[in-house]
Amino acid sequence: MTESLQYDLTLYPSPVLRKQAAAVESFDDELREVVEAMFRTMRESKGVGLAAPQVGMKRRILVMNHTGEEGDDRAMINPEILSRDGETTLYEEGCLSFPGIYGEIQRPDSCRVRWQDTDGATHEETFTGFESRVIQHEHDHLVGVLLVDRMSSADKLRNKVALENLVHDYKQAAAKQG
Ligand code: NI
């Protein structure tokens, strides 16, 4: 595998985005290479987070960096949100699978997460603020929940043309592939 491997982003409404991701069972070099390539793809796409279904893989993997600082890269394997807590806040979210589409999404401020690192060690921690929001957004991807599902009807209406264009582009690409 080359140092510069990156993935193509899977865009809405690709069916893989609606699938349940499966648990990772092998914590090996292949997993670490996938995670590195996901980080490269996320950075290249200027995202703050990326989940494996967004690069076509039904695996419970997410990568994120909520600050853009080098030391803040975080990969979560088999993440589970144990609880969500705190005040519900409204914040504008985008998604690499929905280019150019944004919506104000409500989420609880805090979440407690259990996950494994790329060596298989288990961690548990409570997150708040933007970091918690990114985790909740990426975790949604692992269970087939998308930005469009959590958008208000006003935001859906505002983004109607852009959403229709994505569906149109997907159908055209699918037709081309036969
Ligand atoms: Ni997303």
CA of 107 to the centre of ligand 1 (A): 14
Q: Verify whether residue 138 is a known catalytic residue.
A: yes
CA of 86 to the centre of ligand 1 (A): 22
Give me the residues near ligand 1 (ion), CB cutoff below 5 Å: 95
pTM over 0.75: yes
CA of 57 to the centre of ligand 1 (A): 14
Q: Domain ranges in the chain?
A: 15-177
Which amino acid appears at position 5 of this protein? L
- Among 44, 140, 148, residue whose Cα is nearest residue 94: 148
Asked if residues 79 and 114 have their Cβ atoms less than 8 Å apart, the reply is yes
The whole-angstrom separation of Cα 85 and Cα 31 is 31
Give the chain's mean pLDDT: 96
Measured from the Cβ of residue 84, the count of other Cβ atoms closer than 10 Å reads 15
CA of 95 to the centre of ligand 1 (A): 4
Q: Write phi, then psi, for 84 (nearest 5 degrees).
A: -125, 140
Looking at the structure, give the CATH architecture of the domain made up of residues 15-177.
Alpha-Beta Complex (3.90)
Asked if residues 80 and 123 have their Cβ atoms less than 8 Å apart, the reply is no
pLDDT at position 107 over 80: yes
Q: Which of 36, 93, 131, 138 is catalytic?
A: 138
Structure confidence by residue, pLDDT tens digits, 123-137: 999 999 999 999 999
pLDDT at position 2 over 60: no
CA of 29 to the centre of ligand 1 (A): 26
CA of 53 to the centre of ligand 1 (A): 10
Q: Can you say how many angstroms the Cα of residue 29 is from the centroid of all Cα atoms in its chain?
A: 22
Output the six-digit token pair for 53.
Answer: 């279904």
The whole-angstrom separation of Cα 172 and Cα 159 is 20
Q: Can you say how many angstroms the Cα of residue 4 is from the centroid of all Cα atoms in its chain?
A: 21
Structure confidence by residue, pLDDT tens digits, 126-177: 999 999 999 999 999 999 999 999 999 999 999 999 999 999 999 999 999 8
Mean pLDDT of 89-101: 97
